[in-house]
Structure 1
Amino acid sequence: MDAVLEELKTGIRKFRMGVYPENKDTYVKAASEPQTPHALIVTCADSRIDPELITQSQPGDVFVTRNVGNLVPAYGEMLGGVSAVIEYAVTALKVRHVVVCGHSDCGAMKGLLHPEALEKMPTVKSWLKNAHAALSVASSLAKPDEEPGVLMRRLTEENVLLQIQHLRTHPSVAGAAARGELTISGWIYDIGKGEVRISEDGSRTFVPVTIQGESE
């Protein structure tokens, strides 16, 4: 018996017995109408991140693509799955907002800081070339006496900002943004704190999304 598969099946049964019946109307509606997501979220493949849960989105609300490091290759350099998702989301689905979401404790960012750990993963190493400029910026801003965690945090932020720059090189994005039909933001999700910090309107500063009783 495949223990992992059985665990997944248990989850499916719980979904069918509890979650689906409680939300049947939502799923029936989603299946009977064309999808009209309002946002595209580009985030990391890290298993600890659940974009729909974090944003409390319903089926059909957000279009999601995930990859190691939440990277967006500049247009023309690595045309593939990520580029196709972006083009489809913006051109066909007419999403009105694109999010590039990084996160705390990201393995891809650790790999950038410690490339020797990637020697047995040449494909990952090659993919992370899309973030090398972020590493250069983060390292150039480092202070001699700062703790390693500070560099990691800065690199995670710089990577999100870099991927937004790459995103803007895609013709579909550039056109929609020029027409005022598309906006972009960068997010950092802190897994342990449940906190999301957002860079809006081209700002380099990531501001926490506060809840009642919190201060920014």
Structure 2
Amino acid sequence: MKELLDRARSFKRRVDFEGDEYRKLTVGQFPEALFITCSDSRVIPALITGARPGEIFELRNAGNIVPPHDAYGAASGEAATIEYALEVLGVQDIVVCGHSHCGAMGALKYGADLSGLPRVDAWLDLARPALTSVLGERGEDPALREVVQLNVRNQLDVLREYPVARQTIGAGRLRLHGWYYEIDTGRIHELDEDGRFRVHGS
């Protein structure tokens, strides 16, 4: 913690806050995309994308899960973030990014005993039903990658059920993207129109 604290204390000296980049941030934020990913400390959206301050709006939680839309408007940090990103910030792209070595998806894949973590268990219940086909119900043992990638597809489907997302997609103002990030190689696998994840470029 000491190193983190030291770096925080020296942040102002390491960054040019007098330059145009940071001055413009005081006017407001105009991010290009909403980036939905896992809370895992090894997954850093700005590092992966090379984004500068103000370029991406982040939503992070265990397993990059998007809760189902609630027509009654129950409080939800995820729903509020999605609503704000689309209605106020006007982002035109949403990325749902899963990753290798994911503890949340691993817990589902391996049937971990989460009785001591009831809130975690309840949270993962949001994703569990749509993953049953790859969680070994028929004695199968799918690769964790398969579980993570199916979860990304599923969360994109959940996003499409949000009225604000459905409307902006229909109007051609919103694009959805699915990514799978490999922690150990840095490779990004992008979800293509045929439903498969592929590495593009070098």
Shared fold (TM-score, shorter chain, > 0.5) = yes
1:140-199 CA-partner distances (Å, limit 9, x unpaired)? 79885xxx5x52110000000000010111111011001000010111110110011111
Give the fraction of aligned pairs with identical amino acids, expressed as a percent.
35
Q: How does 1:9-158 map to 2 (within 5 A)?
A: 9-18=5-14, 20-21=15-16, 24-31=19-26, 33-76=27-70, 79-139=75-135, 150-158=142-150
Instruction: Check the 8 A contact 2:181/2:189 in 1, yes or no.
Output: yes
Corresponding residue number in structure 2 for 1:209: 200
Instruction: Check the 8 A contact 1:96/1:183 in 2, yes or no.
Output: yes
Corresponding residue number in structure 1 for 2:152: 160
- C-alpha change, 1:73 and 1:97, in structure 2 (3 Å) is same
Work out the CA distance in 2 between the residues paired with 1:108 and 1:154. Answer: 14
Equivalent AA in structure 1 for residue 69 of structure 2: Y
Shift in Å, 1:135? 2.3
Work out the CA distance in 1 between the residues paired with 2:70 and 2:9. Answer: 44
Shift in Å, 1:9? 1.7
Corresponding residue number in structure 2 for 1:214: none
TM-score with structure 2 setting the length: 0.90
Q: Gaps (5+ residues) in structure 2?
A: none
Shift in Å, 1:130? 1.4
1:48-95 CA-partner distances (Å, limit 9, x unpaired)? 111011101111111001000000011118750001100110011100
Correspondent of 1:172 among 146, 149, 164 = 164
Instruction: Check the 8 A contact 1:142/1:151 in 2, yes or no.
Output: no
**Residues 181-190 or 127-136, more deviating:** 127-136
Work out the CA distance in 1 between the residues paired with 2:192 and 2:39. Answer: 23
Q: Gaps (5+ residues) in structure 1?
A: 212-216
Corresponding residue number in structure 1 for 2:191: 199
Work out the CA distance in 1 between the residues paired with 2:10 and 2:156. Answer: 38
Structure with the largest fraction of helix: 1
Instruction: Check the 8 A contact 1:69/1:108 in 2, yes or no.
Output: yes
How many pairs align?
A: 200
- C-alpha change, 1:117 and 1:75, in structure 2 (3 Å) is same
Work out the CA distance in 1 between the residues paired with 2:11 and 2:59. Answer: 23
